[in-house]
A and B are shown apart, each in its own frame.
Chain A
Amino acid sequence: MSEDTVLSKAPLPSESGVEALRVNGISKRFGPVTALRDINLQVRTGEVLGLLGDNGAGKSTLIKIITGFHRPDTGTIRLGGEEVTLRSVAHARSLGVETVYQDLALVDELPVYLNFFLNKELTVGPFLRHGEMKRRAAEALAEVGINIPSVSAEVRALSGGQRQAIAVARAVNSAAKVLLLDEPLAAMGAREGGQILRLIDRLRERGDLAVILIAHNYSQVMDVCDRVNLLQHGEITFDRPSAETSVAELLELVHAEYRAA
């Protein structure tokens, strides 16, 4: 990766920002399997939290609880300081919890701007306001620093990084307060991954959003996260500002797990 992907660390917003999401004592069992055990996790507005963990560590279950898909067996969830019971994904979304999954939920055949406004189209009477949607989509994409030659281009013509960026920008634009990014770098080369990392950095600079970045590649996320949580066997075993840890230390923790297994 080139020099410009080494990002400047923000001045530790974990000390200053408002609490956006706090998860306290969450546990979840599926039959005999304990997926999560007494999870405590918090993220502040303006902060990027890296949630790391091996496959099977419980990341998906934790995401699905925060997005309202699963109900936890025990524990509480607070959004913006208020305790909430998330009844459904739609309910969580209405409270400002947005998720960008790996499949991105884009329609290849539709142009960028119609994907951006999918099921939230702007209309006058029964008719679509194509011009206004194009203008606003271009504005919103420019604001997060995405450069797409034309918002009228079909999504299938775009690169993986551009597609990811559109999905992220769409989620941000729908009044998100907590944004979960599920493995945004999984299927991406170094250069496209760099674009996404820069995009996440710009989201932090906006300062109105808490981002949880789910990943299993540590070296990529260390650059962009303010703080790192490590999830192992359903428990958070590590919580530290990324400035106070290193890729080497995280790798050592995981290697120790493999040796013990």
Chain B
Amino acid sequence: MATQTVQPETQQRSATGGGFTRALLRRRELSIVLVTIAAFLYFSLGSYGSAFNTSNNYHIIMQYFAPWAIIGAGETMLLICGEIDLSAGFTFTFVPFVFMSFYNTGLNVPASLVLAILVAMGIGLINGLIRTWFNLSSFITTLGMGFFLEGMTYIQSNAEPAKPPITGTLGNLLGGWQWSELVWALLIIIVMQVALSYTKYGVYAQAAGGNPLSAAESGIKVNWVKVSTFMLTSLFAGLAGLVDQIRVGSFDPTSGGSNMMFLAVASSVIGGTALLGGSGTVVGALFGAVLLGIIENGFTLTGVNAYAFDVVIGVAVVAAMLLNVYISSLRRRYLR
């Protein structure tokens, strides 16, 4: 019998809608990019456009979304690994006061910064080790860590704000220059998207979240992948806390917190990363954050009640999730 190479059941079923539909299905962040552009055009061309289209206002939008995007880059990788970090917003608040504690002992600024960053990564290390050694869900582990860090922040700060003693070039790099926070956000998003799409780490993260058993059978060190991703997320959260509050000019014990964390996770989810693990997009988290920033700013300018913003986020998260589920079912059907 001759070898059959073409079997009828394996012939290609292509997407019917042509190139654009295929692209929409293939690039999971494309839909959120389109929605973000639409939201921008809506406020930019609307009756409040003259107030919206100023560099000052763009800067206000940036202040909203930059920390969400920076933390969202870490949360996205964690969600892809099948994990979540509920303590990231509290790390954001805590790390600047860790810096102050080191600085107040007489250490200089660079040394205090390095130690504060190491403490930030240590928070992720502890989250990750508790998660993997004791097989405790990351939801519980990081919930506990969140409360712990909130308490520690108040203890260290005496619930009082502190003035950041970081000036000069280092200060400008870390938030002093008005657009530096945007540069950090873009840099971290690009680096993490490249890590996800073009390095072994990205493949391992997807395998660890998609099918941990298969990943382990293939020799991938699943726990190590998860622990290092927890560490990255805490690092980004601590860095965002420093940069954002150096920009403001005050380390504030009431900044960040659960609101910051929820908005970072919301940015990831709206951007197209599923909570189930196995797949996602870091660039999507950036656009998710930008979309939320534009909406919050647009509502303020147009005089919509500020409470309506939370209503919109609530609807947007659920709608984005439904859209994700729908798009992945389409993807399964047509991209074979």
Contacts and interface: CB of A to CB of B under 8 A. Distances in A.
Interface of A: 4, 6-8, 90, 101, 103-110, 114, 118-119, 121, 123, 126-128, 130, 142, 145, 147-150, 153-154, 156-159, 162, 191, 195, 198, 202
Contact of A153 (B3, B219, B335): B335
Given A107-B278, A147-B7, A157-B332, A118 B203 contact: yes
B210 interface: yes
A198 B219 CA distance: 30
Contact of A107 (B6, B207, B331, B336): B207
Nearest to A104: B214
B11 interface: yes
A114 B200 CA distance: 10
A103 B218 CA distance: 12
A154 B335 contact: yes
B283 to A, nearest CB: 17
26 contacts: A4-B1, A105-B213, A106-B214, A107-B278, A108-B211, A109-B209, A109-B279, A118-B214, A118-B215, A118-B218, A118-B220, A119-B204, A121-B203, A126-B199, A128-B198, A128-B203, A145-B4, A147-B5, A153-B336, A154-B332, A157-B332, A157-B335, A157-B336, A162-B10, A198-B3, A202-B3
A202 B3 CA distance: 8
Interface string B172-215: 00000000000000000000000000111011101101110111
Nearest to B278: A109
A142 B279 CA distance: 27
Interface size for chain B: under 10, 10 to 19, 20 to 34, or 35 or more residues? 35 or more
B9 A128 contact: no
A108 B278 contact: yes
A195 B204 CA distance: 31
B217 interface: yes
A164 B313 CA distance: 43
Interface string B304-336: 000000000000000000000000000111011
A154 B210 CA distance: 12
A123 B331 CA distance: 28
A106 B10 CA distance: 19
A142 B278 CA distance: 27
B12 A150 contact: yes
A147 B210 contact: no
Contacts of A145: 3-5
Contacts of A7: 1
A119 B220 contact: yes
A113 B291 CA distance: 34
Given A149-B336, A157-B332, A107 B214 contact: yes
B238 to A, nearest CB: 24
Contact of B200 (A103, A106, A121, A150): A121
